Structure 1
């Protein structure tokens, strides 16, 4: 079974420990078979007069003092039974300790490998994947595997060894009684296997429903401020209720199937016990078997029933574990991003050349078409255009979050695809439209790329981003804890902190992906002025819908439907009929209207 092979692969490094756990339970099961034999010998041969036919048992009786001595000192038998139980308990303790240790370390391996693999997956995967489902695979599914390894899989070895040892002993005691004791077992086993194949799909459906529920919850908690702002509580409650109901119904269906199994397996198991007691009592009265043999078989049948009954639970948990292995394997099967560490690592100055670049997310649906332009080191280039025109897609090509399909992009006359991905990302700073801040202090967020960075650099970057004055106004200043996703800060403050976090690295190329839109015009001007004045000025790319933000750029590109439809500086573009002039005139008239309103207020 391929899922089992994958499970063994996860156990790499801890198979030996787990094997010793299995050996421990096998030894404990061997010891378990001794107790009924000891009771039978006591009833039939110590108290009764039947001869001892087994040389091993006879040696044990002689070791304890002989038949007559034991008959007069039955407390020795009782003490022996206690010692046997103690010895069995020691091996069960070893089984639990070793299997749990192996299971815990195996699941740690899985979590570490999962996290490492997720970190290495390409940007495109994370854009498309659902966070809630990923979290569930890394937590709930891993826990399911751990429970199976720690409890059920090791019990399989115990159950099989129990069946083998008890069957051997029973057939040696009495063939007729042994056959009677096992007549219903094949039916129970067949029913368990059929049930396993059926319930596996139900577990998968229940797990997927739980993942959808987790995703809904995660989205709601992440966007709780939006929910509150638009008074969408009822909609979100209804959506959660729908997913919760789906999860409940699928889980209830699973529980009904489990109830059917346990009820029918209980009926089969009790029928087996009843048959053994009935036939055993009849043959004991007839004198075909001894009373001690009947007692031994009564004990053994109860020992046999337990692993058979547990087989359903074991197979069920096996089904759940294999479903979880399959779901986790889906992540591991995703190809990781090749970082091409053997590629070039040039000293980047900031020259950028696009030549006839085409790019598409889906085949035959290009979002960038025949894009060409040049930028000299230290220049500022601005991109403007309607939503969906390809602005963000264009700048995402520079840090190689995506690779272009046709054409050429060169950084300092070196083909971008020939530059090491890690290296280019260290040299291209990207400030996104939606900044993400960690639940850390302000200082820790700003110097995220290098926690050892001196405070003066943090302060300098904050001043360029026009956030320094805001920070020192807080009670704890740079040691202020910003909360999850920066919830304690305003949108503009979060945006400026993200800008400071990017420019502190002094990257030769800095991209502002509509990230100045969350700040007011005055702060926007202040940030751009500070960027122009700083030493070792970077090549700067600004995406914005605000004409005042892009007006001072050395080169402005106007995009529409993936093509550059206009290019030039501000003065030349406002004289040219086209999209840029129309946007300029609209925004200019709105600014004039705002001035009139303020004057008349």
Structure 2
């Protein structure tokens, strides 16, 4: 579902509940009826004290007078006082039933909005450019999808209907109070403007603090997530104390912000209590004075005090609701910040061709952002059934080549082109292109599922025979069979832990199982011993006869069987040719070969 992130934050939240308009209407209606029926009880008590038990004339709306007359008048009610009690109980019961419906509809609205926001965020994040993911902290993204959405849900479920209820209580209380005594009503309103002004000022100040608190929580979660992910590195270098100090610093910042918010809330509630108490003291004093003079009946004074008390509490509650509303606006803004990032889009005439796998780089130059070019005038061609190996030092641009082939980044106009089967890859839809490119990285990611599900993750309908065939080529089949559960063994957090080499081989099996026309191995055998490396490469040559294969490695033994080897240096092609041709040229390739084969001792 596309949410209107370009509009206001409340409009975005409202759009998430677009198909729940009736539920919203029902929530508003029952909020009103809850308040209306609750306001009936003090009136029944007022009439009972003044006109049924007492002797004052019954001054009530016409329909109430008709009802009393149909029952037999005040004399009949005095003899059957239980009828007044039943009416009071009935009003309370109807108010309670209305409140049940109000709570149910508000919970339904909140859950619907949270569900839509989470799905919209998750779906949008899947489509955001790779560059966005690189620039964002994982912990902050998770917080926006969980904590911020929960804040919005909490406000819709617990505070939105309370805001409407506050408004209804305030308006109905004023109507009832003015209908009973205008002077007392004006006295009751003396401090209301000051309380409202104080609430608005507080709302403006606390909103900024909530924004700081959310940002600090994101930094804290990112720090924890980074530490948990890199726990082996932390332990290996004895950095536990440093990481603890680092995390403590972030939690201290977070705690300090919330301590400051707590002080603001304490001042607000303390000042609110003081003003509310002073307000009630004025009402009681004025009410007693007018009752003694005979201008106010006891029943009217009791009902008036009840309504005044009910009116002051919503006004005070308004500050709490506004503080929650400010938190909600901050969270909605953080959600909108994600949604307003442009997702990857293909042109309307994007192609979905059947790909055979001939890849050509034509004078490609590329830089990240406004930085220096990391690739300069790169040109080469890989045909189906052929293997291109890429060798280069760290930072030479090897991984950037992989990013460009997969369209994680696009080559800018005027900076060359990359074609597959003669078609510029910028004209091919990303989903179609990536389905036809198999990628196996140096640090593969495996899901917390069974080994079978991991290998078949790209083609879930694959039968066990195909899965075992791919695993055999990756030389991981025997290892898997040694586990008690075999291919049904769960790996990851809830199951067994695989070694680096085992993970790489499972990842290779996953790629082979999809049988793409283009296969890229980005140093994906670095954790495998030399003998197993040779066996896997031999099996791969037999398996991927028609695919275009690109192998990136620092190990020349993994590259030497390739049809062509490309040597990168500082983003440019230094050498290109077969293993024998490059050895004969006495260049960088020959020097690295001599070092790795033990013919030279210097680096």
Match of 2:427 among 414, 418, 421: 418
**Cα deviation, residue 545, structure 1:** 0.7
- Structure 1 residues 305 and 507 mapped into 2: Cα distance closer, same or farther (>3 Å)? same
1:455-534 to 2 correspondences below 5 Å: 455-484=464-493, 488-534=497-543
Q: Whole-Å Cα distance in 2 between the matches of residues 424 and 485 of structure 1? A: 34
Alpha-carbon displacement from aligned partner over 1:68-91 (angstroms, at most 9, x marks no partner): 011122222112111110111010
Q: Whole-Å Cα distance in 2 between the matches of residues 45 and 303 of structure 1? A: 24
Q: Whole-Å Cα distance in 2 between the matches of residues 577 and 13 of structure 1? A: 71
**Cα deviation, residue 61, structure 1:** 2.1
1:185-200 to 2 correspondences below 5 Å: 185-200=192-207
TM-score (norm 2): 0.95
Further displaced range: 189-198 or 354-363: 354-363
Q: Whole-Å Cα distance in 2 between the matches of residues 295 and 266 of structure 1? A: 22
Match of 1:300 in 2: 307
Match of 1:38 among 35, 44, 68: 44
Secondary structure at the aligned position of 1:106 is classed as: helix
Match of 2:566 in 1: 557
Match of 1:23 in 2: 29
**Cα deviation, residue 296, structure 1:** 1.1
Further displaced range: 58-67 or 553-562: 58-67
Q: Whole-Å Cα distance in 1 between the matches of residues 446 and 360 of structure 2? A: 32
1:63-102 to 2 correspondences below 5 Å: 63-102=70-109
Match of 1:438 among 425, 447, 451: 447
Cα pair 1:438 1:486 within 8 Å, conserved: no
Q: Whole-Å Cα distance in 2 between the matches of residues 65 and 162 of structure 1? A: 33
Match of 1:230 among 237, 245, 268: 237
Match of 2:328 among 305, 316, 321: 321
Match of 2:387 among 377, 380, 388: 380
Cα pair 2:386 2:549 within 8 Å, conserved: yes
Cα pair 1:436 1:485 within 8 Å, conserved: no
**Cα deviation, residue 590, structure 1:** 7.2
Further displaced range: 497-506 or 581-590: 581-590
Match of 2:282 among 275, 283, 286: 275
**Cα deviation, residue 577, structure 1:** 3.4
Secondary structure at the aligned position of 1:362 is classed as: coil
Q: Whole-Å Cα distance in 2 between the matches of residues 565 and 65 of structure 1? A: 109
Instruction: Name stretches of at least 5 consecutive residues in structure 2 with no aligned partner.
Output: 1-6
Alpha-carbon displacement from aligned partner over 1:321-358 (angstroms, at most 9, x marks no partner): 11110000011101111144742222222211111111
Match of 2:3 in 1: none
Cα pair 2:206 2:323 within 8 Å, conserved: yes
Q: Whole-Å Cα distance in 1 between the matches of residues 96 and 438 of structure 2? A: 62
Further displaced range: 271-280 or 124-133: 124-133
2:167 is the alignment partner of 1:160: yes
Q: Whole-Å Cα distance in 1 between the matches of residues 189 and 30 of structure 2? A: 26
Match of 1:401 among 376, 399, 408: 408
Alpha-carbon displacement from aligned partner over 1:261-289 (angstroms, at most 9, x marks no partner): 00001111111111100110011111121
- Structure 1 residues 496 and 556 mapped into 2: Cα distance closer, same or farther (>3 Å)? same
2:590 is the alignment partner of 1:584: no
Cα pair 1:436 1:486 within 8 Å, conserved: no
**Cα deviation, residue 485, structure 1:** 9.5
Cα pair 1:390 1:559 within 8 Å, conserved: yes
Alpha-carbon displacement from aligned partner over 1:355-394 (angstroms, at most 9, x marks no partner): 1111121125211111111222211111111101101101
- Structure 1 residues 272 and 249 mapped into 2: Cα distance closer, same or farther (>3 Å)? same
Secondary structure at the aligned position of 1:367 is classed as: strand
Q: Whole-Å Cα distance in 2 between the matches of residues 179 and 23 of structure 1? A: 29
**Cα deviation, residue 243, structure 1:** 1.1
Further displaced range: 287-296 or 571-580: 571-580
Q: Whole-Å Cα distance in 1 between the matches of residues 72 and 376 of structure 2? A: 98
Match of 1:598 in 2: none
TM-score (norm 1): 0.96
Q: Whole-Å Cα distance in 2 between the matches of residues 39 and 591 of structure 1? A: 104
Cα pair 1:383 1:541 within 8 Å, conserved: yes
**Cα deviation, residue 487, structure 1:** 6.2
Further displaced range: 217-226 or 160-169: 217-226
Q: Whole-Å Cα distance in 2 between the matches of residues 458 and 256 of structure 1? A: 61
2:555 is the alignment partner of 1:546: yes
Further displaced range: 572-581 or 274-283: 572-581
Match of 1:7 in 2: 13
- Structure 1 residues 477 and 341 mapped into 2: Cα distance closer, same or farther (>3 Å)? farther
Further displaced range: 489-498 or 51-60: 51-60
Secondary structure at the aligned position of 2:342 is classed as: coil
**Cα deviation, residue 191, structure 1:** 0.4
Match of 1:284 in 2: 291
2:116 is the alignment partner of 1:112: no
Cα pair 1:467 1:496 within 8 Å, conserved: yes
Aligned pair count reads 593
Secondary structure at the aligned position of 1:504 is classed as: helix
Alignment RMSD, CA only? 1.7
**Cα deviation, residue 573, structure 1:** 1.3
Secondary structure at the aligned position of 1:34 is classed as: helix
Cα pair 2:140 2:221 within 8 Å, conserved: yes
Match of 1:597 in 2: none
Q: Whole-Å Cα distance in 2 between the matches of residues 552 and 223 of structure 1? A: 35
Q: Whole-Å Cα distance in 1 between the matches of residues 189 and 46 of structure 2? A: 20
Q: Whole-Å Cα distance in 2 between the matches of residues 60 and 337 of structure 1? A: 69
2:418 is the alignment partner of 1:389: no
Instruction: Name stretches of at least 5 consecutive residues in structure 1 with no aligned partner.
Output: 594-601
Alpha-carbon displacement from aligned partner over 1:151-173 (angstroms, at most 9, x marks no partner): 11111111111111111111111
Alpha-carbon displacement from aligned partner over 1:83-122 (angstroms, at most 9, x marks no partner): 1101110101110011111111111111111111111112
Match of 1:453 in 2: 462
Q: Whole-Å Cα distance in 2 between the matches of residues 487 and 354 of structure 1? A: 42
Q: Whole-Å Cα distance in 1 between the matches of residues 417 and 428 of structure 2? A: 13
Cα pair 1:437 1:484 within 8 Å, conserved: no
Q: Whole-Å Cα distance in 2 between the matches of residues 167 and 424 of structure 1? A: 67
